[in-house]
Homo-oligomer: A and B are copies of this chain.
Amino acid sequence: MSRILIIEDEEAIADLEKDYLELSGFEVIIRNDGDDGLQIALSEEFDLIVLDLMLPGLDGFEICKRIREEKNIPIIMVSAKKDDIDKIRGLGLGADDYMTKPFSPSELVARVKAHMARYDRLVGSNQKNNDVIEIRGIRIDKTARRVIVDGVEKAFTGKEFDLLTFLAEHPNHVYTKEELFREIWDMDSIGDIATVTVHIKKIREKIEYDSAKPQYIETIWGVGYRFKV
């Protein structure tokens, strides 16, 4: 479940926001002044922060700046004054969105959802879910060691799976056969680089529609291979 931090001194507003967000399935924590807000924002993990500009203690400007120095999570800044919004926008503090009070709670919910979806889209896909890699029509389940191509499971042998997984985990990066060999095979194993070529061929037979025109694993002539994304 996603956790949201609301830093807002007007308790009635904070509670209203909390109610709506909880109805949408979020876990909500409220802090009523700037110092407490910053402290918990830095010490605990949240997925999004709703930050009022006018606060007792540290103000919203400062809190936003300090959070940004350490974290990339989405911040929605809220203010009663339209002028302040324009001002902070210009400051480039790194807030992700700005709302002018009063606003409807459902608009807040919509924006929260949109920001979390974007964050997942940009960061979550690359950084988090380490057990399942999904690129275009291919799904690689690392813990189950299964590969599903356009909905059909294909049988992969050990080395084939390791090689495909390594390439897919580093999309677009070109690796030489030597690098791939060192990466997948035992460091000290003295073997022929040609085995990499053969494994690439085997993988292509399973994932490519036309092995002669590979859509996934591209040959970089004179260099090596890369997983195209």
Contacts and interface: CB of A to CB of B under 8 A. Distances in A.
B144 A226 contact: yes
A42 interface: no
A146 to B, nearest CB: 8
Q: How many A residues are at the interface, by size bracket? A: 35 or more
B110 A90 contact: yes
A214 interface: no
Interface string A95-123: 01000000000000011011001110111
Given A144-B173, A144-B174, A222 B72 contact: no
Contacts of A126: 123, 126-127
A66 to B, nearest CB: 15
Contacts of A143: 172-174
Contacts of A122: 72, 119, 122-123
Contacts of A96: 118
B222 A158 contact: yes
A172 B153 CA distance: 13
